[in-house]
Amino acid sequence: MSALINPSILSADFVNLERDLGRIAAADYVHVDVMDNHFVPNLTLGPPVVRRIAEVAPVPLDVHLMIEDADRWAPTYAEAGAASVTFHLEAAQAPVRLARELRGAGVRVGVALRPASPVEPLLDLLDEIDMILVMTVEPGFGGQSFIEGTLPKIRRTRQAIVESGAATWIQVDGGVSRSTIGRIAEAGANVFVAGSAVYGAPDVAAEIVALRGLADEVLAQP
């Protein structure tokens, strides 16, 4: 299992977004946070902007929907060109039906959980989803500090995936940096969203390589 680094453009310069997308060509995906000012207290990007980002981004789009009524809107982001669409379990009325609809549209399916939301409701559905996103900060804003209390949830998630034989990824979003990524990888995550740690670095490309190397060093251990 290799580490995937997905820089969040929430920390990019939106006035120079195409430039800042080009700076993360060494990444595995670009993480696109979509917020509706209802599910979370912030407002970001709609489908037309995501479609344009997909046209110019050097790597595939990993779209994280922090929106209400995910059942209605998530397929729109698949149509806009996302390679992966993640919706919040707390915002979906029929998560299995939605996951199947997204897979039918040809995208990877992620289901996200707030820091205080239990993972157990998802553990019987691992065959229906491609990724579980464990939020390690409260969703809605970048630059927050990592919540250490989420590590046991990551461990339980990884144990359940191993026991089931599923190939489900575990993504972590929030407070990922050189100082935290090793502990997060040790707990079982393999996909890492980093915003300010990447875009705040003097050399963005070098920071992506450094983060991936730190995580891979842990993931390579037996």
Active site residues: 33, 173
* Cβ-proximal residues to 162 (8 Å cutoff; 6+ apart), any chain: none
Give me the sign of the Cα torsion angle 150, 152, 157, 161.
positive
Please state, in angstroms and rounded to a whole number, the distance separating the CA atoms of residues 95 and 88: 9
Measured CA to CA, the distance from residue 86 to residue 112 in angstroms comes to 6
Crossing angle between the packed helical segments 70-79 and 95-104, to the nearest 10 degrees: 10
Query: In whole angstroms, what is the distance from residue 187 CA to residue 180 CA?
Result: 11
